[in-house]
Structure 1
Amino acid sequence: ARLRNLGQMTASQYTDYLSIEEEIRQARRFFRQRKWVVVDVSGKAVEESANEVLSKLKLK
């Protein structure tokens, strides 16, 4: 159903589990090389994510 809603009737790069895993690995490597802090906001309210960002920036 989700693919149909996105106008994709067949599997694409974004539905291939291995492609998604590789993209995540590349992103993590990119962030690590730049020493960027990553905040996982999955399943969190905006306020919760904001508090985590402030904590990581040592502003709270």
Structure 2
Amino acid sequence: MAEIVNLRQARKQKARDEKLRVAEQNRALHGRSKAERQRDRLIADKAEKFVASHRLDPSGKDEQ
């Protein structure tokens, strides 16, 4: 004999499963810890300072 399924509960469970799937994708795409974000920001700042300190014109503007 077939199993009786409550369609309302099945629909809600399907919606929950979809939310979990989307959340998993978002964690994979956007999930970084605070320490990782800070590390990347420090690396970018250090690189910018290095480039800025090696410019011929420290102001960054061409004087004519």
Q: Normalising TM by the smaller chain, what interval?
A: 0.3 to 0.5
Q: Normalising by structure 1, what TM-score? A: 0.37
Q: Normalising by structure 2, what TM-score? A: 0.35
Which structure carries more relative contact order (alpha carbon 8 Å, separation 6+)?
1
More helix, by proportion: 2
Bigger Cα Rg: 2
